[in-house]
Structure 1
Amino acid sequence: MPDWVQIVNHQHEMGHAEDEYELATKPGVGADQLDQLADRLGISLPEEFRDFYLTFNGFGVAPEDDPSDVSWLFQPLEDLPGFIDSMRSSFAETHADVAARFFPFIDWANGDSMGYLTDSAGIVLPGLFCFEHESYAYNANQEADEFISAFPVTIEEFLSGE
């Protein structure tokens, strides 16, 4: 499995070497908590997701002068149900089926989010998918692939910039 500590530290250094933001992380969760989330969502969580969250229960950045003001890139597990509901509700009125299959866990802090998408049978599709709220707002009745972009990457590749 990937060395998540090294990957997250490197990702932070690449993006924040010259600014006043420090890396913020929470210790990993237990397998039982991941099982509870999977049951709530009705999906089998991908191994990479489970492995990541066993290492870190989210990560983001915080200003040096206020380390409690964390902007979470990877949402902590306890915040995921609310975050998922919020992101799904952004387009559920016009695309209920796709919204119900979207499992975001990355928060771009600008209205966009990224995560997994399942097929109609509940199987997680390969890659990561980004909901782009500006594209949706432009034309809410467009096809979902116009505002949800597929990226053929794993979490490791995403964080490593590969």
Structure 2
Amino acid sequence: MKKGRMFMLAAAAALVVGGTIMTVQNKSLFTDGIFDLRSPREKQLTYLKKHEKDLADFVKALSPKVESVQFDWDSMEVGQVGNGTPQGGGYILTLNGRVNNIKETEFTLGVDLGDNANSIPKELGIYEMQPIRIYRDGGWYYYDEK
């Protein structure tokens, strides 16, 4: 009976120490660890927000007129890439946004997910899906056009 209590005490102490170490490292067992119960969409959105600066820098590099970038996080979608084969070319995550706080602007970025629609990227690969455009004079124009 004493051995059982000692074992339980040692196990509890190990859990407390392990939990403390995880907290100190700014990680949570429930969001980054073995008990991560977030949906694939929540994990993908968290990944994008962690890389918000990289995504914004990519958009800024598309046009010298871009000073700031605003993302529409609710626009995030996962879609299958078509490549002419029955199995497709994998999955891509798309995200819309605008530039310079101008409501009449928009763009779409893509981030490669590989072969699993529910995964997060192993490596950040950003693609321009739709160029930066602005709505004026009743139509959409490239942002850099006069």
Whether TM exceeds 0.5 here: the answer is no
Higher normalized helix content (fraction of residues): 1
**Higher RCO (C-alpha under 8 Å, 6+ residues apart):** 1
Higher normalized strand content (fraction of residues): 2
TM-score by length of 2: 0.29
TM-score by length of 1: 0.27
Q: Based on CA coordinates, which of the two structures has the bigger radius of gyration?
A: 2
